[in-house]
Amino acid sequence: MELLQGRIRDYAWGSRTAIAELQGRPVPSNGPEAELWLGAHPGAPGTVQRDGRPVSLTELLVAEPGHWLGERLVGRFGTRLPFLLKVLAADSPLSLQAHPDAEQARAGHAADVGRVNYVDPYHKPELLVALSEFDALCGFRDPGESAAAIAAFGVPALEPVVAALRAGPAGLREAVRLLLSWPRAERAGLVAAVLAADDGPAPADAELVRTLAAGYPDDPGVVVALLLHHVRLAPGEGIWMPAGNLHAYLRGTGVEIMAASDNVLRGGLTAKRVDVDELVRVLRFEVLTEPVLRPETVAPGVLTWPVPVEDFALHRVEVAAGSPGARLTLPGPRVVLCRAGKLTVDDGVGVVTLGAGQAAVGTAAGGPLTLGGDGEAFVATCGLR
């Protein structure tokens, strides 16, 4: 193992406290800090030290793929790290969005000459585990519930949307298309009419609309949000977003792991481009029956959140002072983030000591991981078994 220096992304929705506090830096930070990237994604690759200078992890993977990734990963994913580990810290809502599946990404990238929707040929399933209380919209709820929620606002212009939803799951596609295709000149009036409802709506729905409209007063995504599950995760709970699920993170801090891709199709709550036709083509218009993913214990002090992909797996490890520590037999390469305390991480090739907010990376050549000390860590690996 060796120290990995991550990169912070300064998107406007980011927190000025969460990542700085994690890393023990002064708060507030000079500007928003939205995500700490720990991986080899070309958009912001982490670095390791070589001869006293930082070297991009992406560069090392290309130069020594067999050493870093192993033959099995190279055969499956090529000379790239298939996952990206992040700390995500949101002070305001991210856009409504969905991601293509692997086949859609490959075909879309090949056909999208201008790289408008598909910037790479990879899918982007995501798992987020809450570190703090975390608010999110994720997956379609029962369309009958959505119809009742929207009808309660008493906006006549929304009656066609309500009628579509009352047709059941088959009407979800039409409801989404109606809302996202709302005439641009009438969008501010639609949101204003929804905000004007002073009785009837459920308090939670009314609060959600007010929160979203404060930042996006002319965006029909404010109403699209009522079609989705609104969840409030407790620390340790997760949400799993496979391809085609519409979602948005609203507020909170979490550890996120995803397939390393930039393919995002937006559906509102954004000033960026929304391609309604392509989004509707990619979305899965089905009810997500259980949006919250709870961890499973796989060994004393070791939790995981099982997901059905080969690109990544995530474990949380807690060790206490004086204990024998934890030993994990996980496929390499591995990225380890210390969330709290002070830990030693040993893969049989190298030993590093991590404090809160620090990270380490190890190659496929390493053996089982041994974690000691007193603290908590998240371990990211590929999902191949």
Element (H, E) at 355: strand 351-355
- If we measure between CA atoms, which residue out of 95, 11, 145, 137 comes closest to residue 279? 95
CA-based radius of gyration for the chain: 22
Instruction: Locate 247 and state its tokens.
Output: 């979602």
CA distance 119 to 105: 9
CA distance 83 to 259: 5
Kindly tell me the sign of the dihedral angle through the C-alpha atoms of 111, 115, 117, 119: positive
Please, are residues 311 and 383 in contact by the beta-carbon 8 Å criterion? yes
- If we measure between CA atoms, which residue out of 330, 326, 323, 331 comes closest to residue 299? 326
CA distance 274 to 382: 32
DSSP 3-state of 316: strand
CA distance 368 to 64: 21
Q: Which stretches within the chain are classed as H helix?
A: 18-23, 57-63, 65-77, 102-111, 143-151, 159-166, 172-180, 187-195, 203-215, 221-224, 276-282
Please, are residues 267 and 224 in contact by the beta-carbon 8 Å criterion? yes
Judge whether 16 counts as a catalytic residue: no
Q: Classify each residue of 147-156 as buried b or exposed e, where b means 16 or more C-beta atoms within 10 Å of its C-beta.
A: bbbbbbbebe
Alpha carbon 6 to its chain's center:
17
Among 80, 251, 266, 339, the active-site one is 266
The residues annotated as belonging to the active site are 266
